[in-house]
Structure 1
Amino acid sequence: MGPSGSGKTTLLNALAGRLHKNLSGTISFNGLSFSSSLKRRMGFVTQDDVMFPMLTVRESLLFAALLRLPNSMTRIQKIQRADTVLKELGLERCKNTIIGGTFVRGVSGGERKRTSIGYEILVDPSLLYLDEPTSGLDSTTALRILKVLQKNAQVGRGIVATIHQPSSRMFHMFDKLILLSEGYAIFAGYAKDAMDYFSSLSLTPQIAMNPADFLLDLATGTTSDITIPPDLENLITQMDLIPPPYFQRDLVHKYMRRKYMTRLAPEERRAMCEMGNVSKELKDAIKAKQDWASSWWTQFLILFKRTFNERRVDYFSSLKILQAIGVAVLLGLLWWRSKTQTNADIQDQLGLIFYICIFWATFSMWTTLMTFPLERQYLAKERAADMYRLSAYYMSSTVCDCLAELVFPTIFLLILYFMASLRASVGAFFLTLLATFLIGITGQGFGEMFGAATLSLKTAGIIASMFLLVFLLAGGYYVQKMPAFMKWVKYLSFVYYGFRLLQKIQYSPDQIFNCDTTGGCESIANARALQGLPLDSGVQEAWVLVLMAVGYRLISYLCLRRI
């Protein structure tokens, strides 16, 4: 316990193995050095309830159980374990309600906190850390949360919690207390002995006070309505002038630290040294090599289903459907029954083809650009608990996004293709659809790369937009003849290869145009609008897009791995 900024969360993160920078010293548990095997026997509930907002309470616990519980348990047993925890925490009434978030209405704050606790006690940890579990809750809900924790402690589980300012009723529920002040301990021992200890230092309240309020006043150096010992009072009055309040607080802090180091710290150290060693069986179990709770393929399938459940509203939002239909209808009306009889007709049709390319490149990029920045906190929490392999998470996210990408281009082209009278061939239609899929999937990888590299929505949006603008300009429609020193840019542009691929699908050397002239019909390959474009199969462009799609995603994964 301690005031804000006293070091409670920092200490908890250090003990839980979540603080790696600016940390010195050693951490051991019953004489065993901290290790990843030990870490998996711990649970950690953060102050902010980090859970996917679109999953229901039961889905959240169920997916956690399937991912975290060991292979020795069957799927049915894991589901039963999730339902048991649901009942223990009194969450049956809201089990089918989504968690919710800032912009989505869901369960109440107390129910969300209990779900967070259930997320951790599913695996029956030996030690459970909680960072301010009552923060932001009303007194009744906070008391209910602590009763749940007390019940867990009574069955032999160690519960370590930070708390800011508990009521007197909640304060007496805790067994032991560490009181922190500006990063230093000023009391450590049984909570019921705290008042007696400070009374022995002649620090006593002058009015009836909640013990927690009294202790927090001492931790902040506030001595109003508190009797102070003569030796501390002498230090203050020895000054020639009345010291400023911050100087007086500093004297109080130093006094209590000194007393703690001389009176309590030696006893605490002695008690820890006399603590019984952990049993040989438990020590061997902890030191044994710990495998993942489930195989890579199992993790992938579970994460794939969870990802789809979480993102399904976004994947099939009415706004996106209206966008695909609306743009398709608008383009179909603008290019209504377009022709290829003259060079000007072909040039107009190329404008439509290029717009199809840039629309799906941009649409797909923005769809995935936000994925990793928005899911950063969930990924950090679950990876810290060793719930799954990073590769399984990344592949499930990517495959889910790619499959969702198949829906909207299909709707889009079914409307536009025939309105604009593009090449009248079943093969050409399906090849155009496949090429659009490929452009979209490459655009997704492009967006993922910047999202994973920065994990910042604002930064990723700015950088990706700049690169995409350059790629669009070098895509082969706006600039036909580029200076020699700038030609390399187009070879980096996936828009360039996508545009060429779509052109090669729409036009072939056996097509004729310009039949109304005196010279007679010509092969469309001779059209000035297509000058410099060999109308071959387009396999080369397709392979380049495939390699780019894979390359972007490989870079994305390496960025996530590094972070």
Structure 2
Amino acid sequence: MTQETLQQQQQQQVLTVRGVNLTVEGGRQILHNVHLTAKSGSMLAVMGPSGSGKTSLMNLICGRRPPSSTMDGEILLNNRKVTSRMRKSFGYVTQEDVFFSQLTLKQTLWVKLPSSMTAKDKEKRVNEVVELLQLTKCLDTKIGGMSDQGLSGGEKKRANIACELLRNPKVLLLDEPTSGLDSSLALKLMEILGRWVVEQSSIVVTSIHQPSSQTFHEFHELLLLADGQIAYSGRRELMVEYFEGIGVPFHKHWNAADFMLEVVKESSQHKAHILENGRQFAERAKQEQQQLASASASQVHLNLSYQADAGSRQNGLAGLDEGSVRIRFTSPDFSPQAAAAAKLQDDSEGVHLVPEVSWWTQFLALSYRGFLVSREAILSVQVLVQTAFVAFIVSVLWFQVAKTENNIADFISAVSR
């Protein structure tokens, strides 16, 4: 086995969500037996109508389970249960862009890098990321807020992603990264992430509501949720074939993404048919994932046949008599050589982990950032003059006060000023 092959196996990551159920306080079940498989070099889109459980699934993968909720199922990385330490290596971009409005983009990114890096290395890393996301011209621009002008909405969204890309995570999760962007900017952002995920051999899982046709075609894998259940999971280009196979014809002049969202929002009878096939898909996917966990071959094929029952035919939903959808899953190679390569990378987990930043480094970074945010108030001329004036008045009033017991109250008053 060549060194190059060892390096490729060392970088290979496979994220697996197996049979996840989520129930929140009050007994309401948000997710029902959800399965997901994403591998290095691919982008997976989690789609579905509002309230279908997209954000809940993303939060679970990142370990942000809602309080007073129960969850069962497994979340694995390279067939190992995801631990809190492994999750520190995940990048997660939430829907909300939370920044300090007074900092420039460069300052925002700079303080996120560890102090162990030299100034030259930090400069290089920041420049690489902003160049990738086409934010070079914004480096010295303040983030801005409600009352302060700064970065535009699209630039803030890319800045939020830049904060995560600084660490070069092998698993990047994005929750609605295109919300608030026009179709052109959304496509541009997905194209950038598409190039990055291939170059870095990383995994991108993103929830997205209603992408344009061009944006939709940037994804490799697709998970469609409806009422927290799987309606489709597999290759993006096989989605139309799958729905036509279970008797849901595709409208040729529709955007495929719009078509998907419409079919899962139609009549309850139609939705029930789709979700029933989705449940069968999930069960077969679960069995296949279990086989992959113990398989020694590098690639296996899963043939899923979707047979419509007699009741579906009576309702006008044509079935497949001898049809099948072929989906390829790539499993990680857990040969002794690959295991040795993984061990060199990390003895405890055997997966790619971003080096942890020490408590002292985090404290210094937060202190420095706090100073940058409040320095205008601390170092403003008005504050300095006011402080000097008050100090002068206090000094005059308590000048040469005798240090006796009778003047203790006066000294206390001076200190309290």
TM-score when normalising by structure 2? 0.69
Aligned amino acid, residue 144 of structure 2: G
Q: Distance in 1 between matches of 2:367 and 2:379?
A: 16
3-state secondary structure, aligned to 2:174: strand
Q: Distance in 1 between matches of 2:166 and 2:88?
A: 12
Q: Distance in 2 between matches of 1:189 and 1:24?
A: 24
Question: Does 2:103 correspond to 1:85?
Answer: no
Counterpart in the other structure of 1:102: 146
Q: 1:413 aligns with which of 371, 390, 399?
A: 390
Counterpart in the other structure of 1:19: 65
Q: 1:34 aligns with which of 82, 97, 112?
A: 82
Higher relative CO (CA 8 A, sep ≥ 6), structure 1 or 2?
2
Say which is worse superposed, 82-91 or 278-287, in terms of deviation. Answer: 278-287
Aligned amino acid, residue 229 of structure 2: Y
Q: 1:200 aligns with which of 245, 266, 271?
A: 245
Q: Give the direction of change, closer, same or farther, for the CA distance of 1:102–1:201 in structure 2 (3 Å limit).
A: same
Q: Give the direction of change, closer, same or farther, for the CA distance of 1:201–1:312 in structure 2 (3 Å limit).
A: same
Q: Distance in 1 between matches of 2:411 and 2:360?
A: 37
* Map 1:178-327 → 2, pairs under 5 A: 178-206=223-251, 208-220=253-265, 222=266, 248-249=267-268, 251-263=269-281, 265-267=283-285, 269-271=287-289, 273-274=291-292, 275-277=331-333, 279-280=338-339, 281-282=341-342, 285-288=345-348, 293-316=356-379, 321=382
1:52–1:310 contact (8 Å) kept in structure 2: yes
Q: Distance in 1 between matches of 2:206 and 2:290?
A: 20
CA-CA distance at 1:210 after TM superposition: 0.7
Higher helix share: 1
Counterpart in the other structure of 1:348: none
Question: Does 2:168 correspond to 1:124?
Answer: yes
CA-CA distance at 1:266 after TM superposition: 0.2
* Map 1:477-492 → 2, pairs under 5 A: none
1:177–1:189 contact (8 Å) kept in structure 2: yes
1:130–1:162 contact (8 Å) kept in structure 2: yes
Say which is worse superposed, 118-127 or 409-418, in terms of deviation. Answer: 409-418
Which blocks of at least 5 consecutive residues in structure 2 are unaligned? 1-46, 293-330
Q: 1:423 aligns with which of 379, 398, 416?
A: 398
* Map 1:97-176 → 2, pairs under 5 A: 97-155=141-199, 156-176=201-221
Q: Distance in 1 between matches of 2:285 and 2:389?
A: 74
Counterpart in the other structure of 1:460: none
1:129–1:159 contact (8 Å) kept in structure 2: yes
2:90–2:173 contact (8 Å) kept in structure 1: yes
CA-CA distance at 1:259 after TM superposition: 0.9
1:179–1:185 contact (8 Å) kept in structure 2: yes
1:132–1:164 contact (8 Å) kept in structure 2: yes
1:177–1:190 contact (8 Å) kept in structure 2: yes
Q: Distance in 1 between matches of 2:134 and 2:96?
A: 21
CA-CA distance at 1:63 after TM superposition: 1.2
Q: Give the direction of change, closer, same or farther, for the CA distance of 1:261–1:415 in structure 2 (3 Å limit).
A: same
Q: Distance in 1 between matches of 2:105 and 2:362?
A: 20
TM-score when normalising by structure 1? 0.52
Aligned amino acid, residue 190 of structure 2: L
Q: Distance in 1 between matches of 2:408 and 2:112?
A: 54
Aligned amino acid, residue 252 of structure 1: H
Q: Give the direction of change, closer, same or farther, for the CA distance of 1:414–1:118 in structure 2 (3 Å limit).
A: same
Q: Distance in 1 between matches of 2:257 and 2:290?
A: 26
2:240–2:250 contact (8 Å) kept in structure 1: no
Q: Distance in 1 between matches of 2:291 and 2:378?
A: 57
3-state secondary structure, aligned to 1:65: coil
CA-CA distance at 1:66 after TM superposition: 3.0
* Map 1:333-412 → 2, pairs under 5 A: 407=384, 410-412=387-389
1:30–1:277 contact (8 Å) kept in structure 2: no
Which protein shows a greater Rg?
A: 1
Aligned length: 322
CA-CA distance at 1:109 after TM superposition: 1.4
Q: Give the direction of change, closer, same or farther, for the CA distance of 1:199–1:62 in structure 2 (3 Å limit).
A: same
* Map 1:491-502 → 2, pairs under 5 A: none
3-state secondary structure, aligned to 1:64: coil
Counterpart in the other structure of 2:31: none
Q: 1:66 aligns with which of 114, 122, 139?
A: 114
Aligned amino acid, residue 390 of structure 2: L
Higher strand share: 2
1:466-485 Cα shifts (integer Å, max 9, x gaps): xxxxxxxxxxxxxxxxxxxx
CA-CA distance at 1:214 after TM superposition: 0.7
CA-CA distance at 1:54 after TM superposition: 1.3
Q: Give the direction of change, closer, same or farther, for the CA distance of 1:28–1:283 in structure 2 (3 Å limit).
A: farther
Question: Does 2:115 correspond to 1:55?
Answer: no
1:516-549 Cα shifts (integer Å, max 9, x gaps): xxxxxxxxx5xxxxxxx8659769x98xx9xxxx
2:212–2:257 contact (8 Å) kept in structure 1: yes
- The CA RMSD over aligned residues, in Å, is 3.0
1:112-163 Cα shifts (integer Å, max 9, x gaps): 1111111111111111000011000111111111011101121211100000
1:219–1:253 contact (8 Å) kept in structure 2: yes
1:491-523 Cα shifts (integer Å, max 9, x gaps): xxxxxxxxxxxxxxxx7659xxxxxxxxxxxxx
CA-CA distance at 1:205 after TM superposition: 4.0
Q: Distance in 2 between matches of 1:195 and 1:56?
A: 45
Which blocks of at least 5 consecutive residues in structure 1 are unaligned? 223-247, 325-406, 429-506, 511-524, 526-532, 546-563
Q: Distance in 1 between matches of 2:409 and 2:231?
A: 81
